[in-house]
Structure 1
Amino acid sequence: MTTASNLVTTLLATGLLLAAPAMAQNSAQAEQQRHAQAVHNYEGWMRNQAAGAYVNQAEAAAAAQIAANFRAAEKAKIRKDAIRDWWGVVVVSTDDGSWNVVLNEQDKGEAMLDAMRQCKGTCSPVLTFANACMAPAYSQQGGMFWGQGESREAAGAAATTACSAAGGVQCQSPAQEAFCSGWKYAYRAVDRFLHRADLTARGDVATAKLIPFPGAQEYLAKPPARRGTSTAMKAVNTDMPADPNRSYAGVMTERRAEGMTRMAQPWTAIATGTGANAYAVHWGLNQQDASDTALSKCGGGDCKVLVAVPHGECAAAIRLRGADGRSISFGGRGKTKDVAEEAALTDCIGAGAKVCPIVFSECMK
């Protein structure tokens, strides 16, 4: 028994000794595998962190580029808007004296059409302007005057000065009736400030412009009772249709017709006297307006209206020096220049003149 027991003990001890190297080797391999997995996990984590940083940087770069593009586009737009003219048009109703205005148009002609279309009754343009402020002033007598300026306040002051210079009494310019048309009035002050130096250095700032409509200033300066009665145009000039290359040519033609048929028919009057400088021609918004203004401009106490013609007709005037040193005038009107000149020449020759110099011959078309 003792021998058998010793043998078993010896065998067990021998097995354990033989198994110990194998167990140790397996443990080392497991440790290596765990270490390798840890390294792999760490490297993967690092790669994920780098990828995240790259994505964040790429998004930030894209956002910065978008912002830069936006700023460049905004700057380009401001430059373009500062260079171009921002047109405005004032139109008055000859029926009741009310007026309306269209602002910030890119095309001067379209601004005129829009203003005329919005006006009610028989109407006439008063003025076209750009890149400035305008304001009306009213006299106690009922006259209306316009002023231009860099600001609404400056425009109001200019209008009041014009009113007083024309003999107006208690001239006033309501602040709420002043208005402006231009890039520096449409943009925020901060936008104008940021680009002002660059635009000024480049000279890329559109200047103020003012184009009065013929006869409108004199017409509005009169009290309403002295302005006369205007009639609307009856025909539309189709010799110059809207540009057919434009997609809205038909609309433009219709708007042109609507504005023209309601536009006050202008008249041209010639006033003359016997004095050397007693001669004046005026384009007015009706016959009375044209005649009265021509007489007021004529430099002589004995001035009379020689001839007055409406839009669509022609006028001619002959003026010569008489034997007594006084000037003598003859006038004619007709559908053509030849007819108007023939009428004036007939009167001149009939008066016994040997020479009949034509000093004026125009068609109001």
Structure 2
Amino acid sequence: MAATRLKEVAAFARVSVKTVSNVINDYPHVSADVRRRVQDAIKELNYRPNLAARALRSGRTGLVALLARDLDTTCLPGLTGHVIRAASAHGLRVAVNPFGPGTRATIPPGYADVSLRVDAALVDADLISHARLATNLTAGTPVVVLGETSHAHYDHVHPDAAQAARDAVNHLVHTGRRHIAAIGARSDTDRRAPHPYTLGYEQAVHRAGLRPAIGFLQTTTDTRHEDGYRAARNLFAQEQRPDGIFCYDDRIAIGAIRAAIDIGLRVPQDVAVVGVGDTEEGRYSRPTLTSVCVDVAFVAREALDLIATRLGFGAGPPVRLVAPHAVLPRESTGPTG
């Protein structure tokens, strides 16, 4: 079906094309009644501005920055590709940039560094308070945060991380585990504000009537395999050894499984492990990894829809959208025995 044109919106609202353009560009001199009629027509006809054409007229770049601490993050695997495809559907391009120290991402060919002027930005929740953002983004640039933060004035698209953690821990409980640990709390941030995974883990073990041993919540500095390995070895050295581990990332989980195998533990018979991300690595590991799967396509699609709305129709009340998730049981959490 052909896209709705501006003159069709004008005819439906019984106004001129110029008036529709004024409403879309949020000009202040349009009366409330006319503005309402135009907005109703836009909604009824599902009109979307041609952002590429508008960029030529307005001097916009048509670029959206994707700013992430680690573009290889497994919590949202394949995010970059989904964002590029969702942006393309709106006539936008993506400037991809791994942001912050220690990033290991590979930037796809043909995509620019964020030092170029951009029209909007998708920002990893871990970075939204980063000082460098002030120098990279001009005032008024639309921003959509990917993840949960307390910054109420931004649009957000994120999984319900606390509920995801509760679901993961409940899965371990239902498979017979009673000594459940967690790996992945960030040592540099959880002292100030616990990660939603930490809150969900603590809530779930409490509701199950469990009392984790001291040291069962292991912090890490990153989400690498070696972080999971090192934290799991700490857990296995304790007098009370866990029989289940919830890891905040699939890479952490795979490192934890390796640590268990290296000291002669069987997975899942002696210790069960759950990760987050549903990565390809986890699906083909031995044992295959039980993991929390987040709908990454939903995150990318809804984030770019919000960007397109902000670029097309101006500012509005901040929006929060929650992405679906599910626990996918595999061999790493089979029944005890």
Q: How high is the TM-score relative to the length of structure 1?
A: 0.27
Q: How high is the TM-score relative to the length of structure 2?
A: 0.29
Task: Name the structure where helix makes up a greater proportion of residues.
Answer: 1
Larger radius of gyration: 1
Task: Name the structure where strand makes up a greater proportion of residues.
Answer: 1
